[in-house]
Structure 1
Amino acid sequence: MHNFLTLAVAGARKTQGLVDYCKVLPSGRKVALLTFTQTNQQEVKSRLASQAGSAGVDVMGWYTFLIRHFAQPFLPFKFPGERVGGFDFEGRPNRFAMGKNRFMSTQNEIYACELGRLALELLEATPALLHRLECIYDEILIDEVQDLAGYDWEILDALLRSKIQIRMVGDVRQAVLSTNPRGQKNKKFGYAASLVWFRQREAEGRLNITYTETTYRCRQEIAAFSDSIFDANWGFPSTISNNNHETDHDGVYLVRTEHVYEYFSRYNPQCLRNSKTSAKHLDLPFRNFKVVKGATYERVLIAPTQNIENFIKKGTPLESTAATAFYVAVTRAKQSLAIIIDQPGNSKLPYWTP
């Protein structure tokens, strides 16, 4: 077995682990490092340049990978005489579009939402595509692998069967982004449910999964609370905190609305909410849950949704999409986490009072 997946908790330094791996690559090893967001691509490039002299690693986004190694060289195998004219991130084909118009605009700009399907059909059209890729790269590293969606799972499946070594890192509990959020293909494996896909490949003997349960960000109280967001049936190991720093305000608290402004004034937490429509009655500098993925804050104050309130007050389980968004918000905090709730219900969390 030569394919590996590391599922790590929030704050486990997943990206840094890939950078450290690249630092000790054998000379002449041909490697691509793929990740979804442009922010993460720039972060990886910066770390490689400062810590490993770039190490001869090709860093690119998933879309770029599919265009550069699938669409651009092999589009004529499906549409003779045609060439890629660009990339259209926002556009979508007409509902009844057929042939070339299904995948590209009139300027031959490939629609982002159809790129995965096009790449798979090109992969199936000729064995030369995978052979060429095997000649270019000895190894492909994929960061934030849980962000893949739709036809991307078919492409990843083909890569796992290839001669290329595939090494991936991610956290399905932070699966709040998607390469194709509106796609229906393989929807059952979307977001946190990607864990099912990974475990199926492990059962087939094509993937070795390891778990990293140590967080260097969240104190143990916050780590333990984050573990409670997902039901035990998911089978995640308990998170262990390596943050032993102590301040005058550490842990997880509830805060009543009447005390919110004093709490904010005293501790200056980063305020988070699920969407712009949440907590309109509070004049605080909120950011949305999904936007802060990858960020770290000393303290966090959360305006909960009704579902989150029910989870805290009644123990009502969160469905997977809501759970991942809440998990991301909770695990941004290093020292303290506070949640705005007026009535505790059955919660055992302590209240902060002035």
Structure 2
Amino acid sequence: MSNKLMIAAAGSGKTTLIVNKALAQCSGNVLITTYTQANAEEIIKKIVLFNRAFPPYITVQPWFSFLLQHGVKPYQGSLFNGKIRGLLLVNEQSGYTITDKGKVYFSESGQFSRHYFTGSQKIFSDKLSKFVVRTNEKSNGAVINRLKRIYTHIFVDEVQDLAGYDLEVLKLLFSTDAEILLVGDPRQVTYLTHHEKLHSGYKNGAIKKFISDKKLDCLIDETTLQKSHRNNQIICNFSSRLFPNLPASMPCQDTACRAEPPGHSGIFLVRATDVIAYSKIYVPTVLRYNNANEQEFNFGMSKGLGFDRVLIYPTAAIVKFLKDGRLTKTVKGKEQPAFNLAKFYVALTRARFSVAIVCDFKNEAYLPEITKWNVISSEQMTLFS
């Protein structure tokens, strides 16, 4: 069988490709796993849309659910005799106590339980894949042998989000007889599953380098999924500014994809006082860096989704970029990203037709793709300086 890594641009149809490949399997069982719950739900919806029913031979699971069900529970007794009472999601390195010298982390060898678990026996999310690898070692490969018996095809969407011991799990998957398909966009590393030092050189979407360096049996395809079926030319141009070292994304030329609505396409600035009026006219989906309400999405949680129009609440650093176009800043003599490029890229590329960014602009200049939206006169004046 042919294992493959496919490098994708935003809106290039990677989820559609995965769904079609899964539905096309005539025998065996297919696992589709992806990092976010939102993307897993989107995959399920698309399967039902294409097939009118959900086939019994396809399983769709978020990455952590997959690791818990197939990596932890079947053979956890080979590593840990206690009862695991669920998962605790963390966004920093877990398993520590605070002393007068700061954080002191519990070691795996000396304080096993406190290294992996909370006091209520929930496993830390950043230790989950490490626990799976250790369980497979202690059980003499039973974890992976069980997967071999269950799945003939394993498809991993949003593979760029995997890091540390997740990559060790991928290596184990390649040792099975299953056909492995990995799909991801290195520009969309909005989440890291954990912050383990292992494989730290591959944590920013460098999955291609990992596959090459480890000489895994996997073809690398960088051409099939490079044109966006979602974003128009202006959105492609503007979002490509964020990653100048990667090929610029381009809109596909399929007439069905390029059916633009009249009168309002592109990148717009909207004053905070005009948001209600703008939203009544164009009904955009609201995206926030964080603290989204039930009708909105945080930048990261919107990954994998597509909308006709979005309205973005930017950070101060993003607003600065809209003016000067600078992607880096100097901190203590070192260059680092001026803001979270990946999250802003994801937010921009959710839109098919228009992106509105909430910004109380005056007469200052902004990047040339940007248009100022004025509710009073309904005039938009494109700036070229």
TM-score range (shorter-chain normalised) is 0.7 to 0.9
Q: SS where residue 352 of structure 2 aligns?
A: strand
Q: Report how many residues are paired.
A: 338
1:77 maps to: 78
2:343 maps to: 325
Q: SS where residue 229 of structure 1 aligns?
A: coil
Shift of 1:327: 0.7
Confirm whether residue 351 of structure 1 aligns to residue 352 of structure 2. no
Superposition misfits of 4+ residues, deviation over 6 angstroms: none
Quick one: distance in 1 between partners of 2:88 and 2:277?
43
Instruction: Judge conservation of contact 2:317–2:339 (CA < 8 Å) in 1.
Output: no
Shift of 1:118: 0.9
Shift of 1:329: 1.3
Confirm whether residue 229 of structure 1 aligns to residue 247 of structure 2. no
RMSD after superposition: 3.0
Confirm whether residue 134 of structure 1 aligns to residue 180 of structure 2. no
The alpha-carbon distance between structure 1 residues 59 and 298, as it changes in their structure 2 partners (threshold 3 A), is closer
1:34 maps to: 33
1:280 maps to: none
Shift of 1:262: 5.1
Shift of 1:336: 1.6
Confirm whether residue 295 of structure 1 aligns to residue 294 of structure 2. no
Instruction: Judge conservation of contact 1:140–1:164 (CA < 8 Å) in 2.
Output: yes
The alpha-carbon distance between structure 1 residues 145 and 320, as it changes in their structure 2 partners (threshold 3 A), is farther
Q: For residue 72 of structure 1, what is the amino acid of its counterpart?
A: K
- State percent identity of aligned pairs: 29
Shift of 1:264: 4.5
1:247-268 deviation line (CA, Å, top 9, x unaligned)? 1111223446676665445434
Shift of 1:330: 0.9
TM-score by length of 1: 0.82
The alpha-carbon distance between structure 1 residues 259 and 26, as it changes in their structure 2 partners (threshold 3 A), is closer
Shift of 1:137: 2.1
Q: SS where residue 187 of structure 2 aligns?
A: helix
Confirm whether residue 267 of structure 1 aligns to residue 282 of structure 2. yes
TM-score by length of 2: 0.76
The correspondence of residues 92-131 of structure 1 with structure 2, limited to 5 A, is: 93-94=95-96, 95-96=105-106, 98-105=111-118, 108-125=121-138, 126-131=140-145
2:85 maps to: 86
Shift of 1:237: 4.7
The correspondence of residues 143-222 of structure 1 with structure 2, limited to 5 A, is: 143-180=157-194, 182-190=195-203, 193-194=204-205, 196-202=206-212, 204=215, 206-211=217-222, 212-222=225-235
The alpha-carbon distance between structure 1 residues 155 and 256, as it changes in their structure 2 partners (threshold 3 A), is same
Shift of 1:106: 5.8
Q: SS where residue 351 of structure 1 aligns?
A: strand
1:282 maps to: none
Q: For residue 241 of structure 2, what is the amino acid of its counterpart?
A: S
In the alignment, structure 2 segments of 5+ residues that lack a partner are 97-104, 329-336, 378-385
**Structure 1, 96-105 or 331-340: larger mean CA deviation:** 96-105
Q: For residue 344 of structure 2, what is the amino acid of its counterpart?
A: F
The correspondence of residues 38-77 of structure 1 with structure 2, limited to 5 A, is: 38-49=37-48, 51=51, 53-54=54-55, 56-77=57-78
In the alignment, structure 1 segments of 5+ residues that lack a partner are 278-284
The alpha-carbon distance between structure 1 residues 289 and 47, as it changes in their structure 2 partners (threshold 3 A), is closer
Aligned residue among 336, 354, 362 for 1:342: 362
1:61-117 deviation line (CA, Å, top 9, x unaligned)? 2222222222222223224xx254331324854443612443235665433232111
Shift of 1:4: 1.0
Q: Which has the higher helix share?
A: 1
The alpha-carbon distance between structure 1 residues 69 and 302, as it changes in their structure 2 partners (threshold 3 A), is closer
Q: For residue 299 of structure 2, what is the amino acid of its counterpart?
A: F
Confirm whether residue 316 of structure 1 aligns to residue 326 of structure 2. yes
**Structure 1, 56-65 or 300-309: larger mean CA deviation:** 300-309
Shift of 1:167: 0.5
